């Protein structure tokens, strides 16, 4: 019997992918979300004098900037502020909650390493507006309802890369703040 087996390394990217999408043995914990990435290009409805956009604009939907949406898979922890990472600021803490600190307007989402190819946009806060994340309605079996129904809107306040093997980015942690629909 070998009491000192050879150390085996594991790839954090592969482990996180298996956690999100599942394996033959375990189901995945990921959920489908719409990720709205705002471009740094203002919409035609943008009023430079007032610094606001038309809320009923059919091009940008009131964002004021042009955007693209992609369906992505993430793990999302709701009612959870940046307790794990100081990059996500908590406000409106409820210290009397039975389970500890809770904030229904905060959440953290974890995405795979390939979701944010230009993450430096979030590290240098010069972008004009925050990207958005939409939760989507699912049926009793966890399948997306067709057509997609948006159930919650979140503003992405921070994107923090987490590194693994030899400094490669393994996943992204996103600090979210709830936006009323």
The domain in which residue 98 lies consists of 12-39+69-179
Cα 154 to Cα 33: distance, rounded to the nearest angstrom = 11
- Structurally, the chain folds into a number of domains equal to 1
The closest alpha carbon to 176, from 73, 95, 79, belongs to: 79
Secondary structure (DSSP) of 38-103: EEEEE-TT-BTTTTB--TT-TTTTTSSEEEEEEEEEEEEEES--TTS-TTSPP-S--TTSTTS---
Tokens of residue 175, six digits:
């600090």
85 domain-assigned: yes
78 domain-assigned: yes
Confidence of residue 92 (pLDDT cuts 50, 70, 90): very low
147 domain-assigned: yes
34 domain-assigned: yes
Q: Is the pTM of this model over 0.85?
A: no
Of the two residues 48 and 145, the one the predictor is more confident about is 145
55 domain-assigned: no
* 114-120 LR contacts (CB < 8 Å, sep 24+): 115/35, 115/72, 115/74, 115/172, 116/159, 116/161, 116/172, 119/159, 119/161, 119/169, 119/172
E-only strand ranges, 137-168 = 150-163
28 neighbors 80 (Cβ within 8 angstroms): no
Burial class (CB in 10 A: 0-12, 13-18, 19+), 132: buried
Sign of the Cα torsion 68, 76, 140, 102 reads: negative
Cα 157 to Cα 121: distance, rounded to the nearest angstrom = 11
3-state SS class at 33 = strand
170 domain-assigned: yes
Confidence of residue 85 (pLDDT cuts 50, 70, 90): very low
pLDDT, one tens digit per residue, over 94-140 is 455 555 556 688 889 999 999 988 777 777 666 667 889 999 999 99
7 domain-assigned: no
151 domain-assigned: yes
Q: What is the mean pLDDT of residues 70-93?
A: 64
């Amino acid at each position: 019997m070998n009491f000192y087996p050879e150390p085996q390394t594991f790839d954090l990217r592969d482990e996180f992918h298996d956690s999100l999408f599942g394996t033959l043995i375990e189901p995945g914990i990921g959920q489908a979300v719409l990720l709205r990435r705002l471009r740094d290009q203002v919409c035609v409805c943008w009023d430079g004098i007032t610094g606001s956009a038309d809320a009923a604009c059919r091009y940008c939907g009131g964002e004021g900037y042009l955007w693209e949406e992609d369906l992505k898979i993430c793990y999302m922890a709701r009612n959870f502020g940046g307790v794990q990472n100081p990059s996500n600021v908590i406000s409106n803490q409820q210290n009397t909650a039975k389970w500890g600190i809770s904030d229904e307007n905060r959440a953290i989402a974890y995405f795979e390493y390939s979701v944010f190819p230009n993450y430096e946009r979030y590290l240098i806060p010069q972008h004009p507006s925050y990207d958005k994340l939409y939760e989507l309605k699912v049926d009793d079996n966890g399948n997306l309802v067709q057509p997609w129904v948006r159930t919650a809107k979140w503003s992405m306040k921070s994107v923090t890369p987490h590194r693994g093997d030899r400094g490669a980015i393994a996943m992204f942690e996103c600090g979210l703040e709830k936006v009323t629909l």
